[in-house]
Amino acid sequence: MTENRRETEKIYETDGLTFVFDAEVLSCDARKDGLFDVVLDRTAFFPGGGGQDPDTGFIDGARVSGMRQNGGEIIHVADRAFGKGSKVTGKVDAEKRLWRMENHTGEHIFSGIVHRLFGFDNVGFHLGDEYVTIDTSGPLTLADVEKAEALTNEVIRRNEKIEILFPEKDELAKMTYRSKKELEGQVRIVRIGDTDMCACCAPHLPSTGMAGYFTVLAFMPYKGGTRLYALSGSGAVKETRSRLNALKTASETLSVKPCDVPAAIDRVLAENAAREQERVALLTDLLELKIAAATASTTATGNESGNGYRAVFCEQADMRTLNRVGEKHKEGALFFLAVAGPAGKRKYVMKSEKIDLKKAAPAINEILGGRGGGSAGEISGSASVESEEQLFEAAERIAERFRQ
């Protein structure tokens, strides 16, 4: 390892909008994975931290795929070597960095407002590739979230200056700022007017207006507090446009105004529920008729008193309805057996008060040409039964086996 290294100048700490920079290579060490640890005298690459991933990009065409910090050094993981003292140009992935700064800045504003309004701390933050998650230390209602969201966008519209401070220890002791943990050494403070003051190591925008727009996508109770999913800037605009397009499509499909879509959906759901009740009632009647017709047949019931069975074949039936009907028709019978579903995807359900179906499942599956299992009183699974006649033949074989 190279000795007497100098501390890396961290351009990103004071200027988050520098994406291209010149630097000198202080050291370059080969890694076991074929990549190289490169230390520069200055860098605009953020090594990650505080819930935000490291930057990616290039150094003189060499891809930077990872980063870490070791004391005062920023180590870039590159895919080729550089000579010590080489003059190089670094290029940060600007689009990714901007997306992250927009969202991190929006999160700071929102978290500061939540703290001021409700006294809750931000106890968890992660800036992912699709959205930001924010965990608060206390529960938020819909009204709370909407109020904090509206005030966040007011701060964005005012385009307030975002300051980066490096206070001395005595100055820091007099400051009131947000921090998830006790900090040692030089503390970097991000101040957004009177809205927020927070210890943070990540790059930020120079003014709130560049965050563009902040929106909470969803929120839910989480560990005694609230977890929120949010977006700012270009990500928030893209997501909002997508949701508006979905609302427009729903509006046109339902032939109602956009503001009436929720009520129209409730109406359609209620209508569908009523139709489903009608369908289940008709299907139940059909199954009862089929069972009654089968019961009148010697083939379907067997000959011995108390050892008869009940079987039904119905492609249109669903397993829930079959289960309900089966509970009634297993009483007083050797077993109840039903097969349903489209060709090639047949399912069976079998119920009995006289046979231990769990133990009998292997033999029953062999006869039905399928696979399945369950409890002593009920088993279900797949079946290779293609007609009512095949079902009755299989049921008769099962009955004969367990009558003995």
Query: Which residue among 232, 252, 272 closes a domain?
Result: 252
Question: Sign of torsion, CA 297 302 303 307?
Answer: negative
Do the domain assignments include residue 274?
Answer: no
123 plus 221 within the same structural domain: yes
What is the rounded CA–CA span in Å between residue 26 and residue 272? Answer: 70
Task: Please indicate, yes or no, whether residues 190 and 328 belong to a single structural domain of this protein.
Answer: no
Assess if residue 264 is contained within a domain: no
Rounded CA separation 231/238 (Å): 10
In this prediction, residue 291 carries a pLDDT of: 87
Task: Let me know whether 299 and 393 are in one domain.
Answer: yes
For residues 144 and 230, state if they share a domain. Answer: yes
Domain shared by 104 and 64, yes or no? no
**349 CB-near residues (< 8 Å, 6+ apart):** 319, 322, 323, 326, 337, 338, 378, 379, 380
Q: Where is the domain boundary, 231, 252, 273?
A: 252
Say how far apart CA 389 and CA 404 lie, in whole Å.
23
Query: Quick one: 174 and 104 in the same domain?
Result: yes
Residue 197: inside a domain, yes or no?
yes
Q: CA–CA separation, 390 vs 10, rounded Å?
A: 78
Asked if the structure places residue 259 within a domain, the reply is: no
Domain at 73, CATH number: 2.40.30.130
CB 301 within 8 A of CB 310: yes
**pLDDT, tens only, 358-394:** 999 999 999 999 999 999 999 999 999 999 999 999 9
- Same domain flag for 292 and 214: no
| 227 and 297 assigned to the same domain | no
Tens of pLDDT along the chain (404 residues) come to 445 557 899 999 999 999 999 999 999 999 999 999 999 999 999 999 878 889 999 999 999 999 999 988 999 999 999 999 999 999 999 999 999 999 999 999 999 999 999 999 999 999 988 999 999 999 999 999 999 999 999 999 999 999 999 999 889 888 888 887 777 788 999 999 999 999 999 999 999 999 999 999 999 999 999 999 999 999 999 999 999 999 999 999 999 999 999 999 999 999 999 999 999 999 999 999 988 887 665 444 444 444 689 999 999 888 889 999 999 999 889 999 999 999 889 999 999 999 999 999 999 999 999 999 999 999 999 999 999 999 999 999 999 988 76
Report the DSSP pairing between strands 36-40 and 122-127. unpaired
Strand 20-30 relative to strand 336-340, pairing: unpaired
- Domain range for 176: 97-252
Number of domains the chain is built from: 3
Q: Do 268 and 298 form a contact (C-beta atoms < 8 A)?
A: no
| CATH at 130 | 3.30.980.10
Note whether 291 and 310 are within 8 A (CB): yes
Question: Which residue's structure tokens are 């009907």?
Answer: 325
CA pair distance 125, 100, nearest whole angstrom: 13
- Domain membership flag for residue 260: no
Q: Whole-angstrom Cα distance, residue 395 to residue 386? A: 14
Same-domain status, 103 and 223:
yes
Amino acid 242: pLDDT: 96
**What pLDDT, on the 0 to 100 scale, is given for residue 404?**
65
Instruction: Write down the mean pLDDT value for the chain.
Output: 92
Q: 178 and 120, same structural domain?
A: yes
C-alpha span between 111 and 105 (Å, rounded): 10
Which of 211, 235, 252 delimits the end of a domain? Answer: 252
Q: At what angle do helices 233-254 and 261-295 cross, to 10 degrees?
A: 60
Residue 276 covered by a domain:
no
Residue 266 falls inside a structural domain = no
Residue 181: predicted pLDDT: 73
**Residue 299: its pLDDT value, please?**
45
* 53 and 147 fall within a common domain: no
| Nearest residue to 178 (alpha-carbon basis) of 133, 232, 111 | 111
- 187 and 218 housed in the same domain: yes
The CATH number of the domain where 314 resides is what?
3.10.310.40
Q: For the chain, what percent of residues have pLDDT higher than 70?
A: 95
